Amino acid sequence: MSENIKLATWVVLSPFLSLLVIGVFTRTYKKLSALVAIAAISISTILATILYFKNLYGLTAETHYFEWLITDYFTLKFGILIDSLSLGMMMVVCIVSLLVHIYSWGYMEGEAGLSRYYAWLSLFSWAMLVFVVSPTLLQAFFGWELVGAASFLLIGFWYYKPEAAQAARKAFVMTRFGDFGFFVGLLILLVIVGNLDFHVLNKLGTSLGVSPRLITLTALLIFMGIMGKSAQFPLHTWLPDAMEGPTPVSALIHAATMVAAGIYLIARAYGFFSASTFAMEFIATIGILTSFIAATIALVQNDVKKVMAYSTISQLGLMVAALGAGGYKAGVFHLFSHAFFKALLFLCAGSLIHHFHTNDMWEMAEKGGVKKMKITITTLIIGSLALAGCPPFAGFFSKDAILVAFEMNGKHMFMYLTLLISFLTTYYSFRMIFVLLSPESEHHDHKEKHHGHGHDSPANMTIPLIILAIFSVLFGFVDTPLMNGYFDKFLLNKHEVEHLHWSVMIKSFVVFLAGISFAYIQFAGKKGYREGFAEKIGWVRALLVNKYFVDDFYFILVRGLVYPFAAILNWIDRKIINDTGVNGSGNIVIYSGRFISSLMNGLLQRYLGTSLVILFILVFLWQLI
């Protein structure tokens, strides 16, 4: 085992050990459990950082396997794969996870189930890291399912809230539905190719004897899983509901890492996916469609977390579209930068919710005092600027990379759609900001005394915000000539520095300005509830408020199809198989027994009659023969 692999092994194992320690020893000591989990993820982060600095300019793939299951025509292996992509993702996961762990210390203070909370966070971190370092599709599936379970447990953390319970169930079942496709795709590949190593799958397009149709079929099946986990249309509706979970969880799982797992998987198996032109077209189309739909729904949301959730779906859609259109670097770059600024946005939202005890931006504005939460509101603005793609924040450069990728690959339609989506993104982000900053209503003084408003959240919550804000400001520069195109060097081992694409940048900046001024005109400096432009047209409003009726469709599907089908089968089982088949044959035995015993009731006449009948039958049969 090489040094790199050893380090990576401990990065992965550390949260798992924390899960065990919490489960076995410290579960009754809340603070201790939290410390154990934080210590474990810190160790992971430190080791990952060491690993990163040892391989500052990327590395070629190093793998280590052990045999998990051996059977006749294949061996299923688990292992560790370290290359630039997994190293980068590992860093992102560790950093965000560590910050969320620390932030939760403040956010979840006084929570009765704190040990459980930290245990599930450790479970999640472990599963996510297992997924990230996986050298085979099977291990990826393994981690993929486990992060899904962790997500279920954490969304349902406040299980006594019916909405949370419902949301957890929906998230699990819907992603599981997608995973059906993933699993079938995996099985078909395993049966036909006999090997699930990514390095084999990535060369499948060029290897002989594998039909392109098979690749297309399996790629689409696996993409079905990605649609579930990365919340792509039409399997996206679980993600907004998942906001019922604690906000730090939303930041970690439903913004930065788990939902990005699908994007990571496409990047990981990029050779495999790009071997099928049709699959890539399909992926790109679904991505851009998702992005547009989610961005429009975000326009009418009043819950800050919902705004961010739809914005997450929208950004994930962009990444998927970028990868589908051939922009490998652009997709991965946006994945990393989005992880930072979206985690930041969610943690800011958490800080606001912690303070105001409401999710509704209008109510927050009503209560007033947002401006006094200096760190929170500053970092929230930084995050929104990054999300909206204001130069020089992280989102600007990564979105720029996506636009360039579309342009280079001749997808002009996609580029203009992305610009439109950017406009909507800027608009809804700053709608939120301007609403929150709107002048306070007169009676806030009275409330201020009551709630002790005017303080910011405690330091263990604000420090993660500051760190993430720094990332959100600076991360974008890694792909600029200022840092000699560092990101290209790291990820692609490419040494020539790319120029800035001024034409695209200017377009994107103009769109940003348009979005922010539009939001400014409609929302800035005004009191009370106001409708945005999307809400003024009746049918648009109806469409958006009802989220394009996708949820209603599922509701009808489950209520009208699944439950009745189950009820019919149950009726068949009870009435036909059991009552008629099983009890019926029993009854035949009972009645024939009664009949025969009635022939032997002790009366001579009956015996004589019976004998005569039998005699007749025998004679008749004899005649027949």
Partner 1 sequence: MNFPILSSILIVPTLGVLLILLCKPEQKTAIRVISLISTGITLLLSIGLMILYDRQTGGYQFTEFKPWVPQWGINYILAVDGLSIPLVFLNAIAIFTGVLASWHIEDRTKEFYALLIFLATGVFGVFMTQDLFFFAIFYEVAVLPMYLLIAIWGSGKNREYAAFKLTLMLFFGSAFVMGGILYLYKAAGLNTFNLMELKRLAQYPKEIQKILFLLFFIGFGSIVPSFPMHTWSPEGHACAPTAVSMLHAGVLMKLGGYGLLRIAIPLLPSGLHDWALLMMGLSMCNIVYGAFTAIAQDDMKFMVGFSSVSHMGMVLFGISTMTLTGINGAAFQMFAHGLVTALYFSSIGVMYNKTHTRMISELGGIANVMPRAAFFFAIAGMAGLGLPGFAPFVAELMVFIAGVSKYPMYGIIAVISVVVTAFYIIRCIQKTYFGNTNPKWKDLRDATNFEVVPLVILVIALFVFGMYPRLVLDLMQMETKNIIAKLALM
Binding site for partner 1 (CB under 8 A): 67-73, 141-143, 145-146, 149, 152, 156, 159-162, 164-166, 168-169, 172-173, 176-177, 179-180, 183-184, 187-188, 190-191, 562-563, 565-567, 569-570, 573, 577-578, 581-583, 586
Q: Which two tokens stand for residue 17?
A: 């050990």
Closest to partner 1 by CB, 537 or 561: 561
Closest to partner 1 by CB, 42 or 166: 166
Q: What's the min distance (Å) between Cβ of 397 and partner 1?
A: 37
* Bridge partner residues of 77 (DSSP): 67
Q: ∠360-365-371 over CA atoms, to 5°?
A: 125
Q: What's the min distance (Å) between Cβ of 320 and partner 1?
A: 23
Q: 233: left (phi > 0), else alpha (psi -120 to 50), else beta?
A: beta
C-alpha to C-alpha distances, 384 to 340, 346, 376, 391, nearest whole angstrom? 12, 11, 12, 12
Q: Which two tokens stand for residue 451?
A: 């709630």
Closest to partner 1 by CB, 115 or 379: 115
d(CA 413, CA 433): 30
Closest to partner 1 by CB, 164 or 269: 164
Q: 20: left (phi > 0), else alpha (psi -120 to 50), else beta?
A: alpha
Q: What's the min distance (Å) between Cβ of 248 and partner 1?
A: 21
C-alpha to C-alpha distances, 37 to 32, 47, 254, nearest whole angstrom? 9, 15, 20
Q: What's the min distance (Å) between Cβ of 159 and partner 1?
A: 4
d(CA 182, CA 569): 28
Q: What's the min distance (Å) between Cβ of 290 and partner 1?
A: 22
- The number of beta carbons lying within 10 Å of the beta carbon of residue 25 is 12
Q: What's the min distance (Å) between Cβ of 149 and partner 1?
A: 6
- The number of beta carbons lying within 10 Å of the beta carbon of residue 319 is 28
d(CA 258, CA 339): 10
Closest to partner 1 by CB, 147 or 275: 147
C-alpha to C-alpha distances, 525 to 117, 436, 470, 501, 530, nearest whole angstrom? 40, 10, 28, 36, 11
Q: What's the min distance (Å) between Cβ of 576 and partner 1?
A: 9
Q: What's the min distance (Å) between Cβ of 198 and partner 1?
A: 18
Closest to partner 1 by CB, 168 or 516: 168
Q: ∠544-545-550 over CA atoms, to 5°?
A: 70
Closest to partner 1 by CB, 149 or 500: 149
Closest to partner 1 by CB, 160 or 595: 160
Closest to partner 1 by CB, 28 or 601: 28
Q: Which two tokens stand for residue 165?
A: 């319970």
Which position has the token pair 């890492």? 257
Closest to partner 1 by CB, 588 or 614: 588
Closest CA to 42 of 63, 17, 79: 17
Q: What's the min distance (Å) between Cβ of 202 and partner 1?
A: 22
Nearby residues of 431 by Cβ (< 8 Å), 6 or more positions away:
299, 519, 522, 523, 532
Q: What's the min distance (Å) between Cβ of 12 and partner 1?
A: 14
